[in-house]
Amino acid sequence: MPKAEEANLPGPMTEWLNGTVFMESLWTEAEKWLLVAVLGLEMVIGVVGNCLVLLVKAMCRGQFCCRYWLPFISLTLSDLGCSLLIISGSLLALLTGGQRSPWCEAVSLLKFAFITSSIGSIALLCLQRLIGRASTESAVFAVIVAACSASWATGVVFGSVPVVYAWIRYDRAEMLCAVFWESSYSDMLFYIVCAFSICIFLPFLVILFCSVLSASGCNSDHEADLSAVTPLLVASYVFCYTPFTVSELILLGRLDLSPAPDWLRTLSSVMSYLDCGLNPLIYCSHQDFREAGLALLWTKRKPQSEPVLTAITKHEL
């Protein structure tokens, strides 16, 4: 991280200590504690919900139909990682006023990797649902595995570029470390266009294409399969990540390299975190999955042995 006088950071800076930037608060005290409550709730729901989803998928596989398990597992791991690492990092930064390097750079990298893997997993789920059972055969499934791995890898690669070129700064509005541009509009334009085209726009085209064909009745999946919740997952992702996309487009349209308004950047973080907690609730909208989860949580264990008659006492009348 640069020295305090060299850090081109938005908003006033009050203190620089041991590699941590402490900023003047962007919100009133009431607004700050409201954000703390919201982030804390999102973190708890995301961690608990996604852990339970993994538990149900591992222990109750025979109680519900899930043919396309790979994108579901990838999406759940992405949501769990975001809830456990990114939301907790934002919550801590909100309480302390900054983030310490190298955690600052790691958070920025991981957030982009989780965003990319999430939309990649949903795109693969839409594709498998469209293809049907043929997508679970060895040759096609190998391609699915490679594509799923590529979605994680591209997220890590594009998330690493700003770290390597030292474009990462703590953003008090986003409540985590993010990319800030200081001098070159051409560099920003090239990076954002490449990142969005490969990591976001391409999977979105796959989602759109598969969703249109599925809606027209081209897929052969039965509603009993867990993949029936795919349209809800798509709608949730689009809804939650729209503020993030809008804020990036605003940045792209400003030649002076000024970021989107503070309120929009804050909203983009809160909404993107919300998606991690909504997905487990969407899984539970599927009846078989919900019943399997409830059975796992509430069914009492059988006694170790049946009661055995050992004696009879006869009472004289």
Whole-number percent of the chain with pLDDT over 90: 38
Q: What is the pTM assigned to this prediction?
A: 0.81
Average pLDDT over residues 79-101: 89
Average pLDDT over residues 299-310: 51
Looking at per-residue confidence, does 296 or 307 come out higher?
296
Mean pLDDT of the chain: 82
- pLDDT, residue 311, reads 55
- pLDDT, residue 221, reads 52
Q: pLDDT class for 84, splitting at 50, 70, 90? A: very high
CATH superfamily of 33-292: Rhodopsin 7-helix transmembrane proteins (1.20.1070.10)
- pLDDT, residue 258, reads 78
Looking at per-residue confidence, does 185 or 89 come out higher?
89
| pLDDT beyond 80 at 314 | no
| pLDDT beyond 90 at 15 | no
- pLDDT, residue 299, reads 65
Cβ contacts of residue 248 below 8 Å, gap of 6+? 192, 196, 260
Q: Are 17 and 98 a contacting pair, CB within 8 Å?
A: no
